[in-house]
Amino acid sequence: MADAGMKQADLIGAAAARGSKLGKSQVSQYVSGKTIPRKDVAALIGSVLDVDAAWLLHGDEGEKADRAPRRAAARNATQAARAERDQAADAPRDEARDESETRADARPAAAIDQTPPSPSSSRSTPMREFKKSSKLDNVLYDVRGPVVDEAARLEREGQHILKLNIGNPAPFGFRTPDEVIADMRMQLPECEGYSDSRGLFSARKAIMQYAQIKHIPNVDMDSIYTGNGVSELIQMCMQALLDTGDEILIPSPDYPLWTACATLAGGTPVHYLCDEQADWYPDIADMESKITPRTKALVIINPNNPTGAVYPREVLEEIVEVARKHQLMIFSDEIYDRLVMDDAEHISIASLAPDLFCVTFSGLSKSHMIAGYRVGWMIMSGEKRCARDFMLGINMLSNMRLCSNVPAQSIVQTALGGHQSVKGYVAPGGRVYEQREFVYNALKEIDGISVVKPKAAFYIFPKIDVKKFNITDDEQFALDLLHEKKILITRGQGFNWHKPDHFRIVYLPRIEVLAEAMESLQDFFAHYRQR
């Protein structure tokens, strides 16, 4: 090739001009000596280079002497091939070929001379940039967001971070009950295949019986779906219900997945306020004032994340009346329904609305401290005739994902019917109860912090005196706390709260760890002023 004044690209182009195909990878392999061309390919290359194919295959030294008279002819052939290739560059491309058969190179001559191309070589056209979907522009999930990313960076540098940002029980010593683990082991051999898209019969039967205990009306096996956590089911419902521009009422503060899923589905989340001065109960007047002809449903989170509020019967009845008056569907997120303290009673709102269509969500992640297994469920109840088409959509989406985690489903019956370890956690003397008491009392002692005592779950949502600390950006506040004290919390606006004056603390760590954290927090606020 060198004697003929040709490069690999020239050889490929000359072959193409003769109506034959040579791939770049093929030629590179031949030149490097890693492979030997087939006889027909050797004959083609030999004719282009004007050498004997036998010499190409066997390296006959005698052939070298005969090559010199033919160099000029080979150069002329090369120039002709280049001219034909440049002309072909303006013609329509052939259909895409297999990677092993690269197209005849139709790049500009300057690029042709750069074979093989180096990574730093300039491109004839700018590289295409792949951007995230615009559907994500208004999606927020700060429970695992920029501040968490910064915490991860600090951990990679070897720094220890106390994570008070996410309700993940296992790292803090809340273990899955032994009975549940044993039952999963026993059932694993029967869990290798897909289940019914709604879920295992045993799991749905146990959930139906639990719904009956909660006095949820008009529930049957076909109205229950298991999911890979409640998160998957929330997303499924938003996709099945919302068209572009449809509105859905969501509490503020909320668990941000609700707002994110409604946004991704093309809907418009409309946030009604929960009143801190009234134990974080929903502001019914604000809720009703935000209903329009486009409003399809309302969401409640009870017990509430992030505030820890538990809604009493009279508040739930007011919400039902609003939904009844405006013919709204009710979604009720009740994942913390067994983590209730201080003799508070959890009531499923569906039990108060037999004439409305309700979807109730729960699971094992929080109330049973089985977060990593990812098993949740939803129960459709009440007046179902008005939601037949929605239910068909749910069934379609459920079929599309085949089923939820089958081994996780296998433990639902044991978890719901067996020993309830959380009862001890939330009773006086239990870990969750005592840790809540400690954090609540410690926060009250910090100058510039006020707090409502939570009655459920394992979160507390303190308020910051923003004027005292000059806080205008709660993400910056969270970053400053992380950098100075190595404590990771979630900012209030991450829960779609409208002001930068709150943050959420997870009080799952043991009291000795929480004591150190509260001391650090008190020291931080003693001198903090946001710049």
The pLDDT assigned to 9 comes to 79
Residue extent(s) of CATH 3.40.640.10 domains in the chain: 178-420
Query: In 368-510, which ranges are continuous DSSP H helix?
Result: 388-400, 406-409, 412-417, 422-426, 431-444, 466-469, 474-485
In tens, the pLDDT along 428-481 reads: 999 999 999 999 999 999 999 999 999 999 999 999 999 999 999 999 999 999
Residues 6+ apart with CB under 8 A from 378: 224, 225, 227, 230, 233, 237, 359, 360, 361
Banded pLDDT at 329 (limits 50, 70, 90)? very high
The pLDDT assigned to 15 comes to 82
The pLDDT assigned to 514 comes to 95
Is the bond preceding 177 in cis, omega lying within 30 degrees of 0?
no
> What average pLDDT score do residues 165-183 get?
82
Residue extent(s) of CATH 1.10.260.40 domains in the chain: 2-58
CATH of domain 2-58: 1.10.260.40
DSSP code for 223: G
Residue 422 in contact with residue 339, Cβ under 8 Å? yes
Query: Which range, of 54-63, 113-122, 500-509, averages the lowest pLDDT?
Result: 113-122
Distance CA 410, CA 199 (A): 10
Residues 6+ apart with CB under 8 A from 480: 528, 530
Q: Which residue has the tokens 């927020």?
A: 140
In tens, the pLDDT along 356-378 reads: 999 999 998 888 888 887 899 99
The angle, 0 to 180 degrees and rounded to 10, between the axes of the packed helices 8-17 and 24-32 is 130
Query: In 227-268, which ranges are continuous DSSP H helix?
Result: 229-241, 256-264
The pLDDT assigned to 474 comes to 93
* Rg of the chain (C-alpha set): 33
Q: Residue 86: is its pLDDT beyond 80?
A: no
Higher pLDDT, 221 or 43: 221
The pLDDT assigned to 312 comes to 96
pTM exceeds 0.75 for this model:
no
Mean pLDDT (the chain) is 84
Q: Residue 411: is its pLDDT beyond 70?
A: yes
Q: State which H helix or E strand residue 491 sits in.
A: strand 490-491
Banded pLDDT at 20 (limits 50, 70, 90)? confident
Report the topology of domain 178-420: Aspartate Aminotransferase; domain 2 (3.40.640)
**Is 142-166+428-527 in CATH node 3.90.1150.10?**
yes
The pLDDT assigned to 118 comes to 52
> What average pLDDT score do residues 70-86 get?
52
> What average pLDDT score do residues 290-299 get?
97
The pLDDT assigned to 61 comes to 45
Q: Token digits for 308?
A: 């820890």
What proportion of the chain, given as a percentage, has pLDDT over 90? 56
Write down the number of H helices and E strands in the chain: 21, 15
Q: Residue 134: is its pLDDT beyond 70?
A: yes
Residue extent(s) of CATH 3.90.1150.10 domains in the chain: 142-166+428-527
Residue 343 in contact with residue 374, Cβ under 8 Å? no
